[in-house]
Amino acid sequence: MGVLDLASSRAVAATVVVLGLVLSFGVVCNGGKTSSFVRKVEKTVDMPLDSDVFKVPPGYNAPQQVHITQGDQLGKAVIVSWVTVDEPGSSSVLYWSANSKKKKAEGKITTYKFYNYTSGYIHHTTVRNLMFNTKYYYVVGIGHTERQFWFITPPEVGPDSSYTFGLIGDLGQSYDSNKTLTHYELNPQKGQAVLFVGDLSYADNYPNHDNVRWDTWGRFIERSVAYQPWIWTAGNHEIDFAPEIGETKPFKPYSHRYHVPYKASGSTSPFWYSIKRASAYIIVLSSYSAYGKYTPQYKWLEEELPKVNRSETPWLIVLMHSPWYNSYNYHYMEGETMRVMYEPWFVTYKVDVVFAGHVHAYERSERVSNVAYNIVNGICKPVKDQYAPVYITIGDGGNLEGLATNMTEPQPDYSAYREASFGHATFDIKNRTHAYYSWHRNQDGYAVKADSMWFFNRFYHPVDDSTSAE
């Protein structure tokens, strides 16, 4: 063996030792993929007030901004909300299915002021005791201009109820937002309900948080949300905290306009709650409410997670706004404090997937956890963990703030795929073991998948699914 050979074999040995050390910390090899797709950089511009998508429906006191969300824990109730502007009018909802008589549900009206803006009459009416898996028609605006819509209730809660969720985040009301919504609507995978991960209207980017932009947003999304429920998560653009103009009550416009069934899951606040829908158990958390130990959100989640019966709802999905695993140079580590508080629970209870927004781009993580650290052991790197969820950032709805294009380099090992493009995703639950997830960028045709993965359920089929991504 020559000197050179000796040196190189030492180097190899040293490499092996280093590699061994690295592996003993369980570092993920094959750091992920940064998409080579480069979106043409264009300014993201809000649609002007006179755009077609913001048109006020014709007729005296016509209901506008009609939207629905789940109204109970099981999916047998729907909250129908809308706004009238000329006078309060009726809060009744008339509803029926093909084989039932017409029934009427009564609701309530609320209004609010924000600086010098006064809202219209905001109606919230809960329609209850619906049959599962049934198409219902409903009418609002009774007494003046009536408008009719429809929705389909989910299948009964159970382990093999298939269901397709859409995923949209940080939508706003730009031309790109309109493209995202159009791509979602025309996706042949046909989402049946939207899991919305926060940041709705971006009205707060206007002078005095011009709440007229909350109204235009409500009219813009009506074409989808009047027909299928959107499950709401509060983002930072819902806070509307503006002490400089005397507005000091956080979430005022959002909480008047978007009601959720939080009491049904024992929550004391609309910003964190849960629902069951088909075979999914969906937990919504608030990145912008206290989540430290002893806080209401902490106590609720601590009691909530043991309640999830995976034999009944195999798929455990968590929604939040600020991501825990994000490798863009935007909002970097903003989710860290909540991760430290709750990540051990997510691993213990084997959450399947966590969807977040906030970062205006797309990213999917490996199944990783970072829960080993204590103050002396120095183990502070995320490691591959088959009990851990996949973390998906889908804050790419298209709002006026534009894309997040600046990424940390090199791509961290926990990041499986990332791309700075606008788009949406679908999570298509087939049965108790398999769900097909795909992300669709706005530049492609409606059926094109830019990123996809077969999810294997963490309760019924907890085998490595990382190689099932395409």
Active-site residues, by number, are 331
Partner whose footprint covers residue 318, from Fe ion, ligand NAG, none (CB < 5 to 8 Å by kind):
none
* Spatial distance between the Cα atoms of 389 and 350, rounded to a whole number of angstroms: 7
Q: Out of 65, 70, 178, 216, point to the residue binding ligand NAG (CB under 6 A).
A: 178
Beta carbons of 257 and 214 less than 8 angstroms apart = yes
| Phi, psi of 297, rounded to the nearest 5 degrees | -65, -40
Beta carbons of 279 and 429 less than 8 angstroms apart = yes
| CA angle at 90 for the pair 88 and 94, rounded to the nearest 5° | 150
Structure tokens at 57: 């429906």
Q: Out of 34, 92, 134, 182, point to the residue binding ligand NAG (CB under 6 A).
A: 182
Structure tokens at 429: 């639950």
CB burial class (10 A; 0-12, 13-18, 19+) of residue 7? exposed
Q: Out of 64, 236, 267, 442, point to the residue binding Fe ion (CB under 5 A).
A: 236
Beta carbons of 323 and 335 less than 8 angstroms apart = yes
* Spatial distance between the Cα atoms of 303 and 299, rounded to a whole number of angstroms: 6
Partner whose footprint covers residue 129, from Fe ion, ligand NAG, none (CB < 5 to 8 Å by kind):
none
Which helix (H) or strand (E) is 300 found in, with range? helix 296-304
Partner whose footprint covers residue 199, from ligand NAG, Fe ion, none (CB < 5 to 8 Å by kind):
Fe ion
Beta carbons of 68 and 49 less than 8 angstroms apart = no
Q: Is residue 312 part of the contact set for ligand NAG (CB under 6 A)?
A: yes
CA end-to-end span of the chain: 46
Q: Is residue 255 part of the contact set for ligand NAG (CB under 6 A)?
A: no
Partner whose footprint covers residue 431, from ligand NAG, Fe ion, none (CB < 5 to 8 Å by kind):
ligand NAG
Count of residues in contact with ligand NAG, rule CB under 6 A: 19
Partner whose footprint covers residue 201, from ligand NAG, Fe ion, none (CB < 5 to 8 Å by kind):
none
Q: Is residue 329 part of the contact set for ligand NAG (CB under 6 A)?
A: yes
In the complex with ligand NAG, the residue whose CB is nearer, 53 or 142, is 53
Q: Out of 213, 256, 358, 418, point to the residue binding Fe ion (CB under 5 A).
A: 358
Q: Out of 71, 107, 235, 261, point to the residue binding Fe ion (CB under 5 A).
A: 235
In the complex with ligand NAG, the residue whose CB is nearer, 295 or 311, is 311
Q: How far is the CB of 468 from ligand NAG (least distance, A)?
A: 11
Q: Out of 46, 72, 176, 199, point to the residue binding Fe ion (CB under 5 A).
A: 199
Q: How far is CA 332 from the centre of its chain?
A: 19
* Spatial distance between the Cα atoms of 87 and 60, rounded to a whole number of angstroms: 9
Q: Out of 31, 33, 35, 53, point to the residue binding ligand NAG (CB under 6 A).
A: 53
CA distance readout (Å), 38 to 35, 159, 181, 418, 420: 8, 40, 21, 12, 8
Partner whose footprint covers residue 468, from Fe ion, ligand NAG, none (CB < 5 to 8 Å by kind):
none
Q: Given the rule CB under 6 A, which residues bind ligand NAG?
A: 47, 51-53, 116-117, 175, 178, 182, 208, 309, 311-312, 329, 406, 430-431, 433-434
Q: Given the rule CB under 5 A, which residues bind Fe ion?
A: 199, 235-236, 358
